[in-house]
Amino acid sequence: MRRVLLWFVPAVVGLATALVFAGAFAAGLSGRLGQPVADELLPKAAPAPAATPGATRIVALGDSLTRGAGDAAGGYPARVAKALRAKGLAVEVENLGVDGAETKDLLRKVRDPEARRRLSAAQLILVSISGNDLSHSLRSLSTAGAAPEAGSATTPLRTASENLRSILSAVREANGSAPIRLLGLYSPLPEGLDPRLAKETLLKWNVALEEATFTVTGALVVPTADLFAERPDRLSADRFHPGPGGYDEIAARIVATLSAGASAAPSGRQSAP
């Protein structure tokens, strides 16, 4: 009996682990990771923690990348904070990221009075949004070599673009000075999608992100597509979200866009209000 238990228990644990991994992998490829949970974007039951006097406060908004899916260390917001602490700053992070958030969900939340109050206290605002809009819209595209149905990708892109502009405007209204860093989009796109179509689609959506920042002072897009191009080692086990190495790269790029202090005016392009 003891020998049976010694064999049976590890086998069951191994099988369960394999099933969990397989489920996450399949979900990532099918675009099911991060289904919208809009009501959790700003948990109303959890009051904002009291700010530490003199601390640089980071408020991170958006989807599963902001939440840090695929990483036990807190994703890119936690890594940005760590890098700023290494520069001698006291830093606090409030991470409001939620799996599956689309632009329409975040737009609703940044108009919420409680969200605006939290944003108003930030010295740095990090945003990752629109990746789910893109991946969900691509489900209707045909496979290799085929063109999408008329309007199948255009309407989601237009809607997301309008939402992005409204989101950034609302964030800037809530906080008139903190740097805003909006993550650009990267592959992987669904398997079977024609590579040329995939690149064209990704480019169009990244251009839309850039355009959304043009009239918002202190808002910059942080490109990420090149960080993951032909670098599967920077993805997590689901092959969809970044892994620790990918989040490291994203955080380093964000920090590189900031001036010596996160609360100071950001370096780089300054757009007209």
What CATH number does the domain containing 177 carry? 3.40.50.1110
Answer whether residue 95 shows pLDDT above 50: yes
Q: Is residue 271 included in any domain, yes or no?
A: no
- Residue 148 is predicted with a pLDDT of 47
Q: Is residue 104 included in any domain, yes or no?
A: yes
φ and ψ at residue 46, rounded to 5 degrees: -105, 105
Give which of 62, 30, 24, 17 is closest to 183, Cα–Cα: 62
What strands, in cross-sheet order, belong to the sheet with 91-95?
91-95, 56-62, 124-128, 180-183, 219-222
Question: Beta strand 91-95 with 56-62: parallel, antiparallel or unpaired?
Answer: parallel
Q: Is residue 249 included in any domain, yes or no?
A: yes
Q: Is residue 219 included in any domain, yes or no?
A: yes
CA atoms within 13 A on the CB side of 259: 13
Which is higher by pLDDT, 261 or 117? 117
Least confident of 23-37, 137-151, 207-221, 241-255: 23-37
Q: Is residue 21 included in any domain, yes or no?
A: no
- Residue 260 is predicted with a pLDDT of 60
**Model confidence pLDDT, tens digit, residues 49-77:** 555 667 899 999 999 999 999 888 899 99
Binning pLDDT at 50, 70 and 90, where does residue 114 land? very high
Give which of 181, 47, 216, 63 is closest to 117, Cα–Cα: 47
Report the predicted TM-score, pTM, of the whole model to 2 decimal places. Answer: 0.77
Answer whether residue 96 shows pLDDT above 90: yes
Domain hosting 204: range is 31-256
Q: Is residue 189 included in any domain, yes or no?
A: yes
Least confident of 46-60, 72-86, 146-160, 180-194: 146-160
Q: Is residue 10 included in any domain, yes or no?
A: no
Section 72-86 average pLDDT:
94
Q: Is residue 267 included in any domain, yes or no?
A: no
User: For the chain, what is the domain count?
Assistant: 1
Answer whether residue 80 shows pLDDT above 80: yes
Tell me what the pLDDT averaged over the chain comes to.
78
